[in-house]
Amino acid sequence: MSSGAPGPDGAARHLAFEALWRVDEESLLARDALDAAIDRQGGGADPRDFDLAWELVQGVLRTEIQLDHVLGPRMARPAADQDPDVMRVLRIGLYQILHLDRIPRWAAVSSSVELAADVGRPAARGFVNAILRRISDGTSPPRAEEPRDPERALPRSDGSWIELWDPCFPKVTGDGAANLAARYGVPLRAAERFIAQHGPAGARRILEASIARPSLSLRPREGRGDALAAALSAAEIPFEREGPCLLVRGAGRIPRLPGFAAGDFAVQDPTAAEVAEVVAPRPGERILDVCAAPGGKTFALAEAVGPGGSVVAVDVPGPRIDRLREECARRGASNVAVVSADAQDAAALPAGPFDAVLVDAPCSNTGVLSRRVEVRRRLHDDAALASLLPLQRALLAAAATRVGSGGRLVWSTCSLDAEENGAQVRAFLAAAPDAAWRPDLERLTLPLAARRDGGYAARLVRTP
Ligand SMILES: C[S@@+](CC[C@H](N)C(=O)[O-])C[C@H]1O[C@@H](n2cnc3c(N)ncnc32)[C@H](O)[C@@H]1O
């Protein structure tokens, strides 16, 4: 990576380039990579540069497999044999051409040519120009209807379609996994698992959601839902309801939303917000939140149990639990205690009994691919999933020891994979003494494009 200075309008693209370099080379998460790029380039990015850079970083990471399929037939050598810096420039340019309406195609091409020079690849300018122009000329404008030929139908992140004049995606054979994987930009193994576990229609819904820009979802503070809706209407900010949340579109920066200063909402996806409903907290209860950081569910539970109840939030030491502690202090959450511990070890957990115990387990994150944009890179094989299963088993078994008689045990993940969801719960029940637990509720939520994430929650009751 070069540290050459960007052209006058290239700051956002230059930041995006560096962030993507850091994701590739330093294995950083997308947001950390962009923050590091901003710091190295002097800090304090203009908000418009930040917004475009963040859109490009997330967009490229969501669609890179799709983009490489479109680039492939235009290049004499495969992507893996090209200069990685030139590939990053091409992907940033192609994402703008295929997925961003607000940037004219000619501007996406010319800014990519400049970016190639800015990042120390001036010799590649002609190559970048030729490839991006050829693709730009070889595609239809966006349209609402899906083109009929799956080898030439490219889904966009806003739900519309582009038709490619040349076929770029694999032929549909068998269950169609290879074609869907390429078009929606997921590894083949992930598409195969989605189809096998959720059927063709379910897989398609999951993939459509995975490529979409996620919603900005506000979970109103307990008892503040109507007031928040009224304040948004008064400020002429359009919103829609989804589960317990309000989805806000095109609203600008979160701190400027009505109710932010008063703490009237938390930013939380509807599916995640519904996990607190599965726990069903009642005023005055004592709740254990295992795997709690950074605390999205902790605060919903704390609001529901009120000042007469309490939540003990457990997570391993590290930056996530530090954020949870800071957020507790910022909110003055006096009914939340934060405990740093390895929750696989029952002896390390706070003493029970608790009225309810939530285990919001670390998982493969397949329900949140649109938000956790780096995750799809881990789905090429089952290794990451397999390594999580024993940890999950241990967390559930340890947490169960803290549930009081008649109390609730909730297992939740943001995964769509049966091995991490129902299979874990059934294995736990099979290992428990007869009739010690009563299965009470099980809910798998498939993601819905630009409306909600996917996830799973199950509730067991300890028989008195
Ligand atoms: C899905 S996230 C939790 C999200 C959180 N409940 C929320 O709503 O904001 C899973 C969490 O499990 C934690 N974790 C992983 N292994 C753990 C362990 N052995 N003991 C305790 N927490 C663990 C991770 O640090 C991570 O914060």
- CA-based torsion, 379, 381, 384, 389: positive or negative: positive
**384 C-alpha to center of ligand 1: Å?**
16
Rounded CA gap, 217 and 210, in Å? Answer: 17
Q: Tens digits of per-residue pLDDT, 365-404?
A: 999 999 999 999 999 999 999 999 999 999 999 999 999 9
452 secondary structure, DSSP code: B
Q: What is the pLDDT of residue 251?
A: 67
Residue nearest to atom 27 of ligand 1 (CA): 293
Question: What does the pLDDT look like over 69-101, one tens digit per residue?
Answer: 999 999 989 888 999 999 999 999 999 999 999
| CB-count exposure of residue 405 (10 Å: 0-12, 13-18, 19+) | exposed
Least confident of 310-314, 421-425, 432-436, 450-454: 432-436
Q: Which whole-number Å values give the CA distances from 397 to 163, 369, 428, 429, 443, in the listed order? A: 51, 28, 7, 10, 20
Token pair recorded at residue 185: 């930009």
Pocket lining: 367 vs ligand 1, CB cutoff 6 Å: no
pLDDT at 167 over 80: yes
Do 125 and 206 share a structural domain? no
Q: Residue 222 belongs to a domain with what CATH number?
A: 3.30.70
Just list the catalytic residues.
Answer: 414
- 45 falls within a domain: yes
Question: Pick from 182, 211, 240: which residue ends a domain?
Answer: 211
Are 26 and 109 members of one domain?
A: yes
Q: Is residue 145 part of a domain?
A: no
Per-residue pLDDT reduced to its tens digit, 393-440: 999 999 999 999 999 999 999 999 999 999 999 999 999 998 899 999
219 shares its domain with 207: no
**In sequence order, which ranges of 280-417 are alpha helices (DSSP H)?**
296-305, 319-331, 383-400
Domain end (from 196, 211, 226): 211
Closest atom of ligand 1 relative to the 295 alpha carbon: 9
The model's pLDDT over 228-243, given as tens digits with 9 standing for 90+, comes to: 999 999 999 999 999 9
Confidence grade of residue 172 (pLDDT, cut at 50, 70, 90): very high
Q: Which residue has the tokens 């790029």?
A: 37
Over residues 146-168, mean pLDDT: 96
Q: 257 forms bridges with which residues in the sheet?
A: none
Q: What's the pLDDT score for residue 261?
A: 83
Query: HEC profile for 424-444?
Result: HHHHHHHHCCCCCEEEEEEEE
Q: Which residue has the higher pLDDT, 259 or 122?
A: 122
Instruction: Sort strands 310-315 and 336-340 into parallel, antiparallel or unpaired.
Output: parallel
Q: What is the CATH number of the domain that holds 389?
A: 3.40.50.150
In a domain, 83, yes or no: yes
CATH code where residue 60 lies = 1.10.940.10
Judge if 319 and 359 occupy the same domain: yes
In short, whether 342's Cβ falls inside 6 Å of ligand 1 is yes
Same domain for 170 and 31: no
337 and 416 housed in the same domain: yes
Is residue 413 in some structural domain? yes
Residues 233 and 302 in one domain: no
**DSSP labels for 229-277?**
HHHHHHTT--EEEETTEEEE-S---GGGSTTTTTT-EEE--HHHHHHHH
Domain boundary among 112, 137, 162: 137
CB of 274 closer than 6 A to ligand 1?
no
In a domain, 6, yes or no: no
Treating both helix axes as pointing N-terminal to C-terminal, what angle do 188-211 and 177-184 enclose, rounded to 10 degrees?
Answer: 40
Is 142 domain-assigned?
no
Tell me what pLDDT residue 14 has.
Answer: 95
- Does ligand 1 lie within 6 Å of residue 225's CB atom? no
CB 327 within 8 A of CB 307: no
* Pick from 47, 54, 67: nearest CA to 16: 54
User: How many domains does the chain fold into?
Assistant: 4
d(C-alpha 395, C-alpha 377), whole Å = 26
Burial (Cβ within 10 Å: 0-12, 13-18, ≥19) of residue 150: middle
For residue 272, the ligand 1 atom closest to its alpha carbon is 8
Same-domain pairing of 365 and 438:
yes
116 three-state secondary structure:
helix
- Whether 372 and 447 share a structural domain: yes
* Predicted local confidence at residue 6, as pLDDT: 46
Residue labelled with tokens 């169960």? 400
Q: Is 452 in the pocket of ligand 1 (CB under 6 A)?
A: no
Instruction: Read off φ and ψ for residue 99, nearest 5 degrees.
Output: -120, -10
Q: Look up the domain containing 204 and give its range.
A: 153-211
State in Å: Cα 371 to ligand 1 middle. Answer: 17
Same-domain check for residues 113 and 159: no
Contact 363, 414 (CB under 8 A): yes
CB atoms within 10 A of CB 68: 21
Residues 198, 171: one domain? Answer: yes
Q: Do both 307 and 424 map to the same domain?
A: yes
Give the pLDDT mean for 324-328: 94
Task: Answer whether residue 211 shows pLDDT above 60.
Answer: yes
pLDDT at 8: 41
Residue 379 φ then ψ, to 5°:
-100, 15
Radius of gyration of the chain (CA): 24
User: Which amino acid is it at 440?
Assistant: D
